[in-house]
Chain A
């Protein structure tokens, strides 16, 4: 496969054509904030945090779905981008009920970390105070839709990796929410295997383990990479199975 060269933030870097700008940036220790992206899941380009400037392109492009081109000049951290990232987090903060002090993922929350990273100190927009539902009918887990940022990682992990497709997005616009099966209680879901992958990939306190206290729960998302790679390469499949 051919190798391309391009420039990211003044650094010359090399890339394969099928990688994304985000992959390439990460390989070269260039940090681009993300929220809906997760290694192992198909990218949707929805959160707009990883937008980058590309010389010659009038539009900002999401790094997670944009492929490199020879000679491309990419900027990931201009003042304009920083301002927009901060505003995106500000919008998210106003949309849900994100009271960190009483959240089980306090100090282990991706949204909270992003807010620190972009330097968000106060929110200029009125809080929307959603009145969405909390569902604790599942035996081990809880979904609190007021803390959901609609990144759809749970939807994708359940469909792409677990293959159960319990979750999907319902409604549209500002009233979008994540639903289980036919908009029923999670505990009543026939499709759910209780595997907990959705809980582990959720960036906020929207999907949590039962019994965890405030600031107790840490999420682990690396497992996904291993599962997906192992599946692609059939790493965990016994030799006799591979042969047959």
Chain B
């Protein structure tokens, strides 16, 4: 395919869209599907047929529209009316009343000035919920693969790296390593072959950002990877996606096939000398495989146990070759940076954390769902303006970021701007973007125990501090939780947490104690109030000590 052909496809598709009198977008992301959006879509299609509107109106399935808690979501275009909780019955009513009679069903309309949308800025999610994820033409019609075309026809690889460096983009997988720097290292590394890997092993419980992008806009990831491959000099890419995301896998498979058919993956892309292929690798249920060295082992068919770094994958990765590993969201930022320029991107967010961040809001919060906000926005705005605060009758207690590697942030730190450095000051991390709100019902010792159970279960067992240390941290938390622990146990817990943090081999072990350390820092009285006195003898049958304090 040539650049001209790409533009012709875009024009044809735009024309086709214009010829449709209306388009009905139904969210077909995993969240909405599980509340029946497939049935809704069918009902709407049936309704259109019955009314004879099926020629002039198109029904398409899109990726995530954001407000997952109010699904199934439906948008009627060109008006752009967003409907919530559209069951099949409401679906047919929309056809009847909105399309036929021109009256929106106001009781189910979410107004465009709803605070949920007001503070958001969409770069990664720009197409999510707007286009069909199953047709490459729709992606091309909104400017898809244009960035790849530009890079292949106008840029030297070095220019691509420098553009990404200037944008200030940092890895969205959690650690925030400067993306341009990583690309530069892989570009300069020597190897017969180089690989580009997309880490789509989104394992943090409570995080579903990457899944939404993969399900809603898979071509964007392929395009981002291809641009990266051109920049670093690679011809083979892998996407490592967790098996728990069957829909994302299906959509990615489809997207790869379509891109190959259009000549946007394969040999001599845009008639340049650049060749690039992408293969999928499916995980098999191991959180640790999100760690880059473990992920590489897993792609090679081995046990996903991390190894010490250096050597970093950028020098010695897959089969010992230089390998670039970036997260889904990082790759998704690449095409917009190329199209709109690094200075545009750098102007968003804060000077050290540029661009936007996608968060998955869940837990005790009114508006659960997927949001994208500029970096540096205060947590309070995310939780109370966008998220609508905690449900009636409950009070906010803590926000958990970074999953099992992160921490719980209390009310008094909610004005903290969301960026890599600020979150680290309160023993949490940006993580991949899961944000879970807890209310007064959550006992923090139990929350810490919950995360530690996760870490015990997901520890690979290779290094001693993580394998045995997390087991004992969990045991000590259990003891504290049921009121059998003493001051000495608490001191031992703290000592062990610091030791596991400092001595574990990989990021999973090093961050596993974070939920304990952060709750100890901000909710210490919840630990101390359930300790028993050291000296006093308490008969083992006494269950009073095990009664949790008033919650």
Where the two chains meet, the residues of A that have a C-beta atom closer than 8 Å to any C-beta of B are 44-48, 51, 59-62, 65-67, 80, 83-84, 87-88, 91-92, 94-95, 124-126, 128, 149-150, 169, 171-176
A66 to B308, CA, bound (A): 9
Q: Annotate B299-316 by CB proximity to A: 1 below 8 A, 0 otherwise.
A: 000010001101000000
B168 within 8 A of A: no
For chain B, which range describes its interface: under 10, 10 to 19, 20 to 34, or 35 or more residues?
20 to 34
Contact of B463 among A46, A87, A95 (CB under 8 A): A46
Q: Which of B441-477 contact A (CB under 8 A)?
A: 456-465, 467-472, 475
Chain A residues in 8 Å Cβ range of B465:
48, 88, 91
Check if A91 sits within 8 Å of B502, measured CB to CB.
no
Q: Annotate B306-329 by CB proximity to A: 1 below 8 A, 0 otherwise.
A: 011010000000000000000000
Check if A87 sits within 8 Å of B496, measured CB to CB.
yes
Interface centre among B460, B475, B503 (most CB of A within 10 A): B503
Interface centre among B492, B495, B502 (most CB of A within 10 A): B502
Chain A residues in 8 Å Cβ range of B492:
124-125
Chain A residues in 8 Å Cβ range of B505:
45-46, 48
Check if A87 sits within 8 Å of B499, measured CB to CB.
yes
B405–chain A nearest beta-carbon distance, Å: 16
Chain A residues in 8 Å Cβ range of B469:
91
Chain B residues in 8 Å Cβ range of A173:
456-461, 467, 470-471
A130–chain B nearest beta-carbon distance, Å: 11
Q: Annotate B275-309 by CB proximity to A: 1 below 8 A, 0 otherwise.
A: 00000000000100000000000000001000110
B330 within 8 A of A: no
Check if A47 sits within 8 Å of B463, measured CB to CB.
yes
Chain B residues in 8 Å Cβ range of A128:
468, 471
B471–chain A nearest beta-carbon distance, Å: 5
Q: Closest chain A residue to B476 by CB distance?
A: A125
Check if A174 sits within 8 Å of B464, measured CB to CB.
no
10 of the cross-chain contacts (CB-CB < 8 Å) are A44-B307, A51-B503, A59-B502, A88-B464, A91-B468, A125-B472, A172-B459, A173-B458, A174-B461, A176-B461
B85 within 8 A of A: no
Check if A48 sits within 8 Å of B503, measured CB to CB.
yes
What would 14 more interface pairs be, CB under 8 Å, given A66-B308, A172-B303? A46-B505, A48-B504, A60-B502, A65-B308, A87-B499, A88-B465, A91-B464, A91-B465, A150-B467, A169-B461, A172-B461, A173-B457, A173-B471, A175-B461
A92 to B463, CA, bound (A): 11
B264–chain A nearest beta-carbon distance, Å: 39
Check if A88 sits within 8 Å of B461, measured CB to CB.
no
A51 to B509, CA, bound (A): 15
A190–chain B nearest beta-carbon distance, Å: 22
Q: Closest chain A residue to B472 by CB distance?
A: A125
Q: Annotate B477-503 by CB proximity to A: 1 below 8 A, 0 otherwise.
A: 000000000000000100110010011
Check if A92 sits within 8 Å of B503, measured CB to CB.
no
Contact of B475 among A62, A67, A95, A126 (CB under 8 A): A126
Chain B residues in 8 Å Cβ range of A88:
464-465, 503
A141 to B492, CA, bound (A): 39
Contact of B468 among A45, A65, A92, A124 (CB under 8 A): A92
Contact of A174 among B303, B307, B308, B471 (CB under 8 A): B471
A148–chain B nearest beta-carbon distance, Å: 12
A51 to B469, CA, bound (A): 16
B527–chain A nearest beta-carbon distance, Å: 18
Check if A47 sits within 8 Å of B467, measured CB to CB.
no
Interface centre among A67, A80, A125 (most CB of B within 10 A): A125
Q: Which of B104-161 contact A (CB under 8 A)?
A: none
Interface centre among B459, B496, B499 (most CB of A within 10 A): B499
Chain B residues in 8 Å Cβ range of A150:
461-462, 464, 467
Q: Annotate B419-459 by CB proximity to A: 1 below 8 A, 0 otherwise.
A: 00000000000000000000000000000000000001111
A85–chain B nearest beta-carbon distance, Å: 9
Check if A45 sits within 8 Å of B303, measured CB to CB.
no
Q: Closest chain A residue to B461 by CB distance?
A: A176
Check if A95 sits within 8 Å of B468, measured CB to CB.
yes
Check if B464 sits within 8 Å of A92, measured CB to CB.
yes
Chain B residues in 8 Å Cβ range of A62:
308
Chain B residues in 8 Å Cβ range of A80:
502
Check if B464 sits within 8 Å of A47, measured CB to CB.
yes
Check if B464 sits within 8 Å of A60, measured CB to CB.
no
Check if B499 sits within 8 Å of A172, measured CB to CB.
no
Q: Closest chain B residue to A49 by CB distance?
A: B464
Check if B467 sits within 8 Å of A60, measured CB to CB.
no
Chain B residues in 8 Å Cβ range of A87:
495-496, 499
Check if B467 sits within 8 Å of A84, measured CB to CB.
no
Q: Closest chain A residue to B288 by CB distance?
A: A172
A80 to B495, CA, bound (A): 11
Chain B residues in 8 Å Cβ range of A125:
472, 475, 492
Contact of A94 among B457, B468, B503 (CB under 8 A): B468
Chain A residues in 8 Å Cβ range of B504:
48
Interface centre among B307, B461, B469, B495 (most CB of A within 10 A): B461
7 closest Cβ contacts across the A-B interface? A176-B461, A45-B308, A91-B468, A173-B459, A65-B308, A173-B461, A95-B468
Chain A residues in 8 Å Cβ range of B502:
59-60, 80, 84
Check if A48 sits within 8 Å of B463, measured CB to CB.
yes
Chain A residues in 8 Å Cβ range of B470:
173
